[in-house]
Amino acid sequence: MPIFDQGYQHWSGGLASHAWRWLAITRHGVRQGLKSRLLRYFLLVAWIPALGLVVAVSLWGLLERGSSLASAFFGLMSFLLPGMVTDPRHYRVDFWRLSYGYFLQIELRLSMILILLVGPSLISQDIRFNALPLYFSRPLRRIDYFLGKLGVIVIFLGLVVIVPSVVAYILGLLFSLDISILRDTFGILLSSIGYGLIIAFSAGLLVLALSAISRNSRYVALMWVGIWLVSGIVASVLQAVDSQQRRFAYYSKITEPPRDGQTPQQRRALRDARRKAATEYRLGELEFSRTDWRPLVSYTANLSRLGQELLRTNETWQRLSRLESDPGAGDRMLATYMGPQFPWYWSAGMLAGLFGLSACVLNLSVKSLDRLK
């Protein structure tokens, strides 16, 4: 039977700074996540909208250099005015804002699915298998543990939101070959990075709080689906019911002549009147949305509202609508493409409240070693 010396053995490895000890937890979590084939496939799918953004800004750079192929491509887009295609440099910022806005709206939905795949088991599995004493028996604080788990979500979301934004920006610069584009669009890049960080930290801390209150990751996933999908459905139903009531009250005031015996001119005038009424109704809806609180019920609607404010996409649509020679066409553009108008700080307050509540739940649910039983 062998006898082992259990005396002190010197360790010759390097000691990491205490400020970076959370990084070991993040590295381990990322490695574990990448072992999932489903997650790897989803990351590839999430990069498809990024390819669309890269193609859009790259072709716009070619359009600024006078490419006929890019001119023909953008001529097919319905929301682009002819003046934008003939003078692309003047509308460079507007196009970049709209391109990044569409990209980030798509990635916001994909980010919710990504968090569903990554987040529920981050803390719940440690609680289920009683791994917290193993963590806190090391020189590790609770803040290090939380930062390490949050870092896993931030890295995965950064791969599908922040990294594609930076790559598309660099390629857009290269295809444009105009140094002035750096001055015009650098703020858009900063806004995109800031918005990606808001999604990562807000949603990441929220899903960690949910993961800390249950040992079963399936229950955590259901709670996340409830916050993500159910809250969005409830907000949509509240908006739809209220909108239908106003729609009925508005159209009930419009009287139509009998259809029998109408001349072609009368039918054409009737169609124009209906189109005008529909545009006025939708513009009225936009005006009403300035004070509508119902979208605040939806978690993703709050994130989307902050993204619109950071990228200033609503201001872009207002500017483009004024370029229409027909005022009715400009009104239809606003009614079709503009997003919610309620104050952005309403959404910021809701997200800040959820952030503080999540931090309190984590602080109460995960105990350090001296408080573990």
Sign of CA dihedral 107, 110, 112, 116: negative
Query: Residue 370: what pLDDT?
Result: 46
Residue in this structure with the two tokens 């610069």, named with its chain if needed: 173
Question: Looking at the domain assignment, is residue 9 inside a domain?
Answer: no
Question: Looking at the domain assignment, is residue 16 inside a domain?
Answer: no
Measured CA distances, 365 to 34, 125, 206, 220, 361 (Å): 27, 14, 13, 14, 6
Query: Could you tell me the residue range of the domain that residue 360 belongs to?
Result: 23-252+268-373
Question: Looking at the domain assignment, is residue 156 inside a domain?
Answer: yes
CA-closest candidate to residue 344, choices 318, 310, 305, 290: 305
- Which tokens sit at 242? 């209220």
The helix (run of H) or strand (run of E) holding residue 355 is helix 344-365
Question: Looking at the domain assignment, is residue 284 inside a domain?
Answer: yes
Dihedral of CA atoms 116, 120, 121, 123 in degrees, nearest 10, equals 140
Half-sphere exposure of 225 (CA within 13 A, CB side): 7
Question: Looking at the domain assignment, is residue 175 inside a domain?
Answer: yes
Query: Residue 81: what pLDDT?
Result: 66
- Cα–Cα distance for residue pair 209/362, rounded to 1 Å: 5
Question: Looking at the domain assignment, is residue 332 inside a domain?
Answer: yes
Query: Residue 271: what pLDDT?
Result: 72
Local confidence pLDDT in tens for the 373 residues of the chain: 555 555 555 556 665 667 788 898 999 999 999 999 999 999 999 999 999 999 888 888 888 887 777 777 776 665 566 667 777 888 888 889 999 999 999 999 999 999 999 999 999 988 888 888 888 777 788 888 999 999 999 999 999 999 999 999 998 888 887 788 888 899 999 999 999 999 999 999 999 999 999 889 999 999 999 999 999 999 888 888 877 777 776 666 555 555 555 667 767 776 776 676 666 667 677 677 788 888 899 999 999 999 999 999 888 888 887 777 666 667 667 767 777 788 899 999 999 999 999 999 998 888 754 454 4
Question: Looking at the domain assignment, is residue 14 inside a domain?
Answer: no
Question: Looking at the domain assignment, is residue 353 inside a domain?
Answer: yes
- Which tokens sit at 123? 């803390």
- Cα–Cα distance for residue pair 148/20, rounded to 1 Å: 9
Residue in this structure with the two tokens 């002190």, named with its chain if needed: 8
Q: Which residues contact 56 (CB under 8 A, 6 or more apart)?
A: 95, 99
Q: Quick check: 286 and 338 in contact, CB under 8 A?
A: yes
Task: Cite the DSSP H helix spans in 213-343.
Answer: 217-225, 231-251, 264-288, 299-311, 313-321, 327-337
How many domains does the chain fold into? 1
